[in-house]
Amino acid sequence: MRKEVTKFTVNGKPYEIILESHMTLLEVLRNKTGHTGAKYGCGTGSCGACTVLIDGKPVLSCLTLAATVRNKNIETIEGLAEGNTLHPIQQAFVDYGATQCGFCTPGMILSTKALLENNPHPTKEDVKEALSGNLCRCTGYVKVIDAVLAAAEAMQGGK
Amino acid sequence: MSNALSVIGKRLPRPQGPAQTTGAAQFAADIKLPGMLIGKVLRSPYPHAKILKIDKSKAENLPGVEAVITAEDGPKIPYSICNLSGDMQNPELPSEHKDCYVFNDKARFVGDPVAAVAAINEYIAEEALELIDVEYEKLPAVFDPIEAMKPGAPKIHDYAEGNVAEHIPYAFLEGDVEKGLQEADFIFEGTFRTTKQKSAQIEPNATVANFDHNGRLTVWSSSQQPHPARRQLARIFNMPEGKVRLLSPFIGGAFGSRQSFITEPVCIALARKAGKPVKLEDTREEDLSTREGRQPQILTAKLGIKKDGTITALQFKTVADAGAYFSHSGAVTSLCMMDFLELYRCPNKNGEADIVYTNTSISGGIRGYGNPPAMFALEQLMDNAAKTLGIDPIELRLKNIKRAGERGYGMLPIENTALAECIKLGAEKIGWQEKKASKKEGVIKRGIGMACAMHCSGAYPDLVEQSNAFIKLNADGSADVTVSATDLGQGIVGALGQIAAEGLGLRAEDVNVTYGDTDVTPFDDGAHASGSCYTTGNAVLAAATNAKKQLLERAAKALGVSDEELDTREGRVYVKTDPEKGIAIAEVVRNTIYDFTGEGYNISATGTSGYRGSSPFQATFVEVEVDTETGQVKVLKIVLAEDIGRAINPMTVEGQLEGGIVQGLGYTLTEDFVVDMNTGCTVTDSFDVYKLPTTLDLPEIEVILVEQPVASGPFGAKGVGELGLIAMAAATANAVYDAVGIQVKELPITPEKILHALESNQ
């Protein structure tokens, strides 16, 4: 089995990890760097629970070979809050009841972050489109969409 | 001072929110213990096969493998997969079926566990599975329950003749159905088929198990019922109950599927053999192809009705597909029958059900239990009747719904019902009259439909509905509540905190709720039957009431008044007739603990729920568009009104209903569980083929909470958890019927079925 050292950053911190060529980014985050906020939900890229950002773009980490992230900047759910101060998207998810079991939440929030960085004034339809790859079985999405729209507004106010 | 509630009814965010949104929430699969091994399960590739011989030597010799177990390793104690069996079950009910072992000597469906491995990592564990040699004797298999009942069908369990695990007559017969049918002016009948909807919680099941050096077992389990599960696991592994500790990690959704043993037994057996902690996690494929799904029904029903809309007879027959093991099938089927027969007033009713084994994955008790199939049949027959009689479907229902005092869920008298209000409000919100009157012509037709349901707040008298709570007050005026509620995402922990705060007269932020550890928490029947808020809520309120009594006695001494003159609110004890006069709760508790007179103690109390129940009701309205060229059904709008009693936290309650509605939308339109009829393999074993609703499928949803508090519930609350889903399929089918005049009697309602029916109509 081929092994090699790969460098990348997670939430701004540099990592050098010995990788086996078959490992996915999700396995590396969960088992090697300790970022268990990225979730295994299906392994086939169908549920979005493993969503992380690579250089700002949402990516399904269960379908991404870890070897391909060399020198890239990865952002996981653990990187959003500053100390105990939640990011406005996180705060909106809490305040609007957008979490139930919370398992899909990290992926939902990261998809939202990517959306709002590209489109700070999304319509409801834009939000539905951006989150269409993130399955949730608890909320029926209603309060998730409310939270994303509220976060967009809050982030306008804050900047 | 106002008597208005200060904490109940507030839209408070759930206490777990920050952990859930930052990645800090630890689910079972996130747990890592020193020396922990990873488990994997070898599953039968055949739907029905005797296991003749297993050679595990090659797997055992693979470096990194620490345990390989098969049926030989035991335990050899049969059990029911259903958590809610054994002592949980009313002894008057049919007996439980202990038809399963951790590993069985014969595989009864594709995916039945045959052996398992624990290794230092998952790659080695997977490699080891391939090194286990199993010699099978393939047996003929049967996948359809009707076929399974025929003479000569393969026998799946030795005890079940004709594969019928149980034949259940309706226990609460009334009148004479033959006479009722003779009295009817019209009889409507039909056969309806429903599917094995998967719970499809986004977190695949996972368990961690560890035996310590004293032989004590700790299990991190996502069970909905930690205490009953602990008792059952102790029995299966022949251990004293006190030697088993269940800890609840964050639970990534459950919807009823986790009121059964899932990954726990194999994980514990591996940990026992390896002498090390083991984590066992399902893949999504294992989850969809082997774990419990909603019990499918082949339901034949009859409705007798007079011209004026009076129901004279109801008859129910079903063949319920249990799958390979019995699990929840007895309760699901008998409740399906009761749900069908008891929603409306009817003097003549009977029913019977056959619960049949097939070589398919196990049927369980998924959100709504037997109710969604029952409403799918009943409410379509009601719309048939409405059309023939020329009565508005709403009027027909208003005429036949039960009132307070009549027998409700579980034969308990209906405490109160706001169903009539729910129907009227829902109709108004969806624009029933206008939309019924205006029909859209052309290729795309519009229709509107509705359906009702009655459900429960806890499963009394079928199960031990008992919760207990412990509360202690702290010297800073805060309170600690200890309960064994399980938060599956429904928000019960926040709701219990609100109940405790209101009951004690504290602010919500002053209450901390501890849960999820059977060593610490008192017995609780766990999360099921839409009952946690009602049952555990009653226990918490009883404990709060007891603690408050002690608090007032101490405050009365301090204030020089009698305790009857006092009440509490938002952290303060006050004199009812002179609210300015009072004392901070913190001061009373501090002076009670730090008391040098020798009279000091820590104010604390326990409370229990008692055995009760109360039926909540709901009405669901659905507007659809049906494309007559493609057969596509598009749901445009859903309005659901629930008779909630009291919404402890309206945001949480809405979330429960919205989530249930969308899960019901999947049940209705896209979630087809498909088994290959040649091989017995699950075709729909990934989310690419088993289609859950996404944001793009989301119609406009409006939830209405009708609050008429009941005396038996905490601050008047009734159950809510399952109510969003129950009538979705029925209401949607009725909307399709309204749009194109076709009744789809088989779920899911796919374009193929619509097109086929449209063609047959022409």
Cα distance between residue B534 and residue B531, in whole Å: 5
Does the pLDDT at position B378 exceed 50? Answer: yes
Nearest in space to B230 (alpha carbons), one of B248, B213, B214, B257: B248
**Which residues of chain B neighbour A93 with C-beta distances below 8 Å?**
17, 20-21
**Option in B30, B199, B663 nearest A36 (CB):** B30
Name which of A89, A103, A126 to mutate to probe chain B: the one with the most chain B Cβ atoms within 10 A of its Cβ. A103
Do B17-23+466-608 and B401-457+615-762 come out as alike in CATH topology?
yes
Name which of A30, A31, A99 to mutate to probe chain B: the one with the most chain B Cβ atoms within 10 A of its Cβ. A99
pLDDT interval class at B568 (50, 70, 90): very high
**Which residues of chain A neighbour B22 with C-beta distances below 8 Å?**
37, 77-78, 80-81, 86, 90
A46 → chain B, closest CA residue? B687
Domain B401-457+615-762: which CATH number of 3.30.160.150, 3.30.365.10, 3.30.1300.30, 3.40.190.10: 3.30.365.10
**Which residues of chain B neighbour A142 with C-beta distances below 8 Å?**
654-655, 658, 698, 701
Quick one: CA torsion of B308, B309, B312, B315, rounded to 10 degrees? Answer: 150
- Percentage of residues in chain B with pLDDT exceeding 90? 95
CATH class of B141-197+292-395: alpha beta
Inter-chain contact B692–A135, Cβ cutoff 8 Å? yes
Cα distance between residue B369 and residue B336, in whole Å: 7
Nearest in space to B339 (alpha carbons), one of B314, B321, B320: B314
Q: What angle do CA B603, B604, B605 make, to 5 degrees?
A: 135
Q: What is the pTM of this model?
A: 0.97
Cα distance between residue B330 and residue B223, in whole Å: 20
**Option in A40, A101, A131 nearest B253 (CB):** A101
**Which residues of chain B neighbour A105 with C-beta distances below 8 Å?**
20-21
**Option in A38, A93, A100 nearest B659 (CB):** A100
Say what the pLDDT of residue A139 is. 98
pLDDT tens digit sequence for B137-190: 999 999 999 999 999 999 999 999 999 999 999 999 999 999 999 999 999 999
Inter-chain contact A42–B663, Cβ cutoff 8 Å? no
In whole angstroms, what separates CA B248 from the centre of its chain? Answer: 17
Q: Does B284 touch chain A (CB under 8 A)?
A: yes
Say what the pLDDT of residue B91 is. 83
List the 158-217 stretch of B: residues with Cβ below 8 A of A.
199-204
Cα distance between residue B401 and residue B416, in whole Å: 12
Say what the pLDDT of residue B94 is. 72
pLDDT tens digit sequence for A96-122: 999 999 999 999 999 999 999 999 999
Inter-chain contact A86–B21, Cβ cutoff 8 Å? yes
Is the distance from CB of B619 to CB of B419 less than 8 angstroms?
yes
Say what the pLDDT of residue B612 is. 85
Does the pLDDT at position A159 exceed 60? Answer: no
Does the pLDDT at position B82 exceed 70? Answer: yes
**Which residues of chain A neighbour B204 with C-beta distances below 8 Å?**
40-41
**What domains are defined for chain A?**
3-79 (3.10.20.30), 88-158 (1.10.150.120)
**Option in A94, A131, A144 nearest B17 (CB):** A94
**Option in A41, A102, A131 nearest B489 (CB):** A102
**Option in A30, A43, A99 nearest B283 (CB):** A43
Q: What angle do CA B385, B391, B396 make, to 5 degrees?
A: 70
Average pLDDT of every residue of chain B = 96
Q: Does B63 touch chain A (CB under 8 A)?
A: no
pLDDT interval class at B537 (50, 70, 90): very high
The residues, any chain, with a CB within 8 Å of residue B435's CB and separated by 6 or more, are B446, B448, B623
The amino acid at B496:
L
Cα distance between residue B755 and residue B638, in whole Å: 24
Cα distance between residue B251 and residue B516, in whole Å: 10
DSSP letters of A23-37? -BHHHIIIIIS--TT
Say what the pLDDT of residue B540 is. 98
pLDDT interval class at B57 (50, 70, 90): very high
Name which of A33, A100, A126, A139 to mutate to probe chain B: the one with the most chain B Cβ atoms within 10 A of its Cβ. A100
- Report how many Cβ contacts below 8 Å link chain A to chain B: 178
**Option in B13, B17, B23 nearest A77 (CB):** B23
pLDDT interval class at A42 (50, 70, 90): very high
Inter-chain contact B26–A36, Cβ cutoff 8 Å? yes
Domain B31-139+203-252+258-290: which CATH number of 3.40.109.10, 3.40.50.300, 3.90.1170.50, 3.40.190.10: 3.90.1170.50
- Percentage of residues in chain B with pLDDT exceeding 70? 99
The residues, any chain, with a CB within 8 Å of residue B429's CB and separated by 6 or more, are B621, B639, B641, B702, B704
The amino acid at B69:
I
Name which of B11, B22, B637 to mutate to probe chain A: the one with the most chain A Cβ atoms within 10 A of its Cβ. B22
Inter-chain contact B202–A109, Cβ cutoff 8 Å? no
Say what the pLDDT of residue B90 is. 86
Cα distance between residue B464 and residue B471, in whole Å: 22
Arithmetic mean of pLDDT, B571-594: 98
Say what the pLDDT of residue B4 is. 87
Cα distance between residue A77 and residue A90, in whole Å: 9
Sketch the domain layout of chain B as residue ranges. 17-23+466-608, 31-139+203-252+258-290, 141-197+292-395, 401-457+615-762
**Which residues of chain B neighbour A97 with C-beta distances below 8 Å?**
11, 13-14, 491, 651-652, 654-655
pLDDT tens digit sequence for B340-354: 999 999 999 999 999
- Tell me which DSSP letter residue B746 carries: B
pLDDT interval class at B466 (50, 70, 90): very high
Tell me yes or no: is domain B17-23+466-608 CATH 3.30.365.10: yes
Inter-chain contact A128–B21, Cβ cutoff 8 Å? no
Cα distance between residue B23 and residue B36, in whole Å: 22
pLDDT interval class at B89 (50, 70, 90): confident
Does the pLDDT at position B564 exceed 50? Answer: yes
Does the pLDDT at position B441 exceed 90? Answer: no
Q: Could you give the angle at which helices B532-559 and B492-504 cross, rounded to 10 degrees? A: 30
Q: Does B488 touch chain A (CB under 8 A)?
A: yes
The residues, any chain, with a CB within 8 Å of residue A83's CB and separated by 6 or more, are none
Output the six-digit token pair for A35. Answer: 């970022």
Does the pLDDT at position A134 exceed 70? Answer: yes
Say what the pLDDT of residue A158 is. 52
pLDDT tens digit sequence for B228-280: 999 999 999 999 999 999 999 999 999 999 999 999 999 999 999 999 999 99
User: How are strands ordered across the β-sheet holding B700-706?
Assistant: B444-454, B617-627, B633-643, B700-706
Is the distance from CB of B745 to CB of B192 less than 8 angstroms?
yes
The residues, any chain, with a CB within 8 Å of residue B330's CB and separated by 6 or more, are B93, B94, B96, B97, B166, B168, B355
Is the distance from CB of B566 to CB of B555 less than 8 angstroms?
yes
Residue B253: CA count within 13 A, CB half-sphere = 28
pLDDT tens digit sequence for B515-525: 999 999 999 99
Say what the pLDDT of residue A1 is. 66
Cα distance between residue A38 and residue A31, in whole Å: 11
**Residue A4 exposed, middle or buried by CB count within 10 Å (0-12, 13-18, 19+):** exposed
The torsion angles phi and psi of B555, rounded to 5 degrees, stand at: -65, -35
Calculate how close chain B gets to A119, using CA atoms only, in Å: 18
Say what the pLDDT of residue B374 is. 98
**Which residues of chain A neighbour B660 with C-beta distances below 8 Å?**
140
Inter-chain contact B17–A47, Cβ cutoff 8 Å? no
